[in-house]
Amino acid sequence: MPAAPPLLAALPAELRLAVYEMLVDDDLRRFAASFSMPALLHTCRQLRSEYVDVFCSDAHVTISAYYGDTGMWSTVTGATAKLALICRSSFTHFVHYSSLASAQRYCERVCFSKPDEQRGILTVSIDSDGLSHSIPDARWWQFGSMSR
């Protein structure tokens, strides 16, 4: 007997979106502190695909990837692409860097010594009342990924 769909999935789309908006700030804070993925991303396909668009929106999660072969930084766009990169990467907190520029220079230096690794910076922000604020303890995280 197949499992019944979650009760949240039975609600109208407008109500589900309102629930997602109420949850996203707390989920972002938890994610920023420990990189624990929100529970809604571990449920059924429908809820996952809806919530990933809210959780990984450009207003909340920004990923800048450095490409050593071109020496260029590029912003990763699309919630699904961001989630895939988050799931396949390992992260290091950039707590000891005082500016984004110094964190970027560090990533660039690492790419010279490990050319087959992709490096970049993930920034987590909350958006309350239309104003975007970086979360103090998780402003920048470096990611490393073997596959590009």
The pLDDT profile of the chain, 148 residues, written as one tens digit per residue, is 566 667 888 899 999 999 999 999 899 988 887 788 899 999 889 999 999 999 999 888 888 988 888 888 999 999 999 999 888 888 877 777 777 788 888 888 887 777 677 788 888 877 655 555 555 544 567 777 655 4
Q: Which residue has the tokens 């668009």?
A: 53
- In eight-state DSSP terms, residue 11 is S
Residue partners of 91: CB distance under 8 A and separation at least 6: 35, 122, 141, 142, 143, 144
Query: Residue 62 is which amino acid?
Result: T
**Residue among 62, 12, 63, 56 at smallest CA distance from 37:** 56
Check if the beta carbon of residue 63 is closer than 8 Å to that of residue 73.
Answer: no
**pTM of this prediction?**
0.77
For residues 112 and 86, is the Cβ–Cβ distance under 8 A? no
Would the CA dihedral through 45, 31, 138, 59 be positive or negative? positive
